[in-house]
Copies of this chain bind each other. A is one copy, B any other.
Amino acid sequence: MATDTYSRILDSAQSLIVTRGYNAFSYADIAAEVGVGKATIHHHFPGKADLAVAVIARYRQATADGMGAMAAQVTQADMRLAAYVGFWEQCIRDNNAPFCIAALLAAELPSLPPEVAEQVKAHFDELIDRLTVFIDEGLQSGALKSPDNAEKSARLLVASVHGAMLAARVAGGDADLFSSITQAALQRLTG
């Protein structure tokens, strides 16, 4: 199913969206980067929205897989949250994907094609759900504590992480700044 060209187009689109957003990348950019004609991209993804949807859909699947694998290895709730935050810290440090695509697209949401916006919303819901489960378990086992319920705590944590990404980007990709902010956010839950 997934040709080499097909996934290389997805890779290129993903990295372009991460750095520039939806509105500031073009088929020409991808064509040049992948080394194919523009028409080839249209062959695999009829329209720009289809391409973006495919990118986020793959991203959601990767997130699901990664979170699942992590949860299988790490059993304690506080360590799970630390792993989630640490994953992004490493991404920023390596500068390979220094921003959550969904968070970036969320900013542009009002100017996004509806199908793309749908995917962004879906990712947010899934992310909150997953972290809510982790935090809920942690609150019950005593590994975590919070004056709020699990869902509210999850929403605040996600907001802090996304805001920290913005701060790190403004500071020129400062992974230490990201870490400093997110560690403070985690401390609220680990006590």
Binding site for B on A (CB under 8 A): 19-21, 23-24, 99, 103-104, 106-111, 120-121, 124, 147-148, 152-153, 155-156, 158-164, 166-167, 169-170, 177, 180-181, 184-185, 187-188
Write the nearest CB–CB distance from A35 to chain B, whole angstroms: 22
Are B163 and A180 in touch, CB under 8 angstroms? no
A121 to chain B: closest residue by CB:
B170
**Interfacial chain B residues near A106, Cβ < 8 Å:** 166-167, 169-170
Are B124 and A170 in touch, CB under 8 angstroms? yes
Are A170 and B24 in touch, CB under 8 angstroms? no
Are A184 and B107 in touch, CB under 8 angstroms? no
Are A152 and B184 in touch, CB under 8 angstroms? yes
| Sample (5) of A-B pairs whose CB atoms are under 8 Å apart | A20-B111, A147-B187, A159-B163, A159-B167, A162-B167
A156 to chain B: closest residue by CB:
B184
Are B160 and A159 in touch, CB under 8 angstroms? yes
Rounded to whole angstroms, the CA-CA distance of A108 and B152 in the bound complex is 28
A102 to chain B: closest residue by CB:
B170
Q: Given known contacts A23-B20, A162-B163, A163-B160, is B169 in contact with A109 (CB within 8 Å)?
A: yes
